[in-house]
Structure 1
């Protein structure tokens, strides 16, 4: 069962030691950078992804400071735990939480154009390209009210 947990002194070292494969390193900032970003940008919410009691990944979302919309800034599954469905389940768990916010009706995510695995996952979750490229990344949007997350 996938659980999203706060990052604390108890799991901090484990979280920063998670890593992706060498070919994925250009797709995502390090967890250390992400945690520093969350400190400087308190609107960011970093979370550890657990499969039961085993740490398998990291994600970070925020209510964007500029556009006042939800953005998923990071989603990473450690290289030892990939291809087991944890990324999808973590996204579904996060989206379920975000969709409870009735004051908003969409969430954004962006990704490197070469990251076809991420594109496939986001397509399957109902995200669609919104036509923007931000800092070289394709921007996708999911409308809450139209989403079909199971």
Structure 2
């Protein structure tokens, strides 16, 4: 059974030890980085990030980092879909030892269920992004209802993506699930 659990003293070390394949290392940040970013957000009085260990029974098999975001008037999601606020999935990963077992989809469904409880306020959608070359992420997110928004940008600089570029591995794609 898949569960989202708070990161505590009991599971902290297991979260830090999560790993991915060498090929995936450019696709998702480490759990250490995610926890450090969460700390910075808290110190800067932002809404507290929602970071959970993903557990299968009592074993930590992944983590998820989510946030609640008000959309600016000029934001892509607001202009295209009318979204005034969204829950963003900033990072999601399943440990290499547990990939290919269906845990990613089960965990993502738990994440969506949690978000639908609106823990930090009502929102119009869930948004996320992934690297264009990350076919596994594309399939996973589509399998639980995410639809690509048509937004694509330079994942390193955040600038507009030029479709003629050859370094496609730096293209980041937006996806959305309406609530």
> Structure 2-normalised TM-score?
0.75
Deviations 1:100-144 (A, max 9, x none): 338222100100111100101111111111122243421100012
Classify the secondary structure of the residue corresponding to 1:36.
helix
Whether the 8 Å contact between 1:3 and 1:52 is mirrored in structure 2 is yes
Root-mean-square deviation (CA, aligned residues, Å) is 1.6
- 1:64 shift after superposition: 2.5
Would you say how many aligned residue pairs link Structure 1 and Structure 2? Answer: 144
The yes-or-no answer on 1:57 pairing with 2:62 is yes
From 124, 145, 152, the counterpart of 1:126: 145
Q: Give 1:75 deviation, angstroms.
A: 0.9
When Rg is computed on C-alpha atoms for both structures, the one with the higher figure is 2
Where does the alignment leave 5 or more consecutive residues of structure 1 unmatched? Answer: 145-150
Write the distance in 2 (CA, Å) between the matches of 1:38 and 1:85.
28
Shift of 1:25: 0.5
Instruction: Note the residue ranges of structure 2 that are not aligned, 5 or more in a row.
Output: 43-47, 73-84, 156-170
- TM-score of the two chains, using structure 1 as the length reference: 0.89
Moved >2 Å (runs of 4+): 64-68, 100-103, 133-136
Partner of 1:138: 173
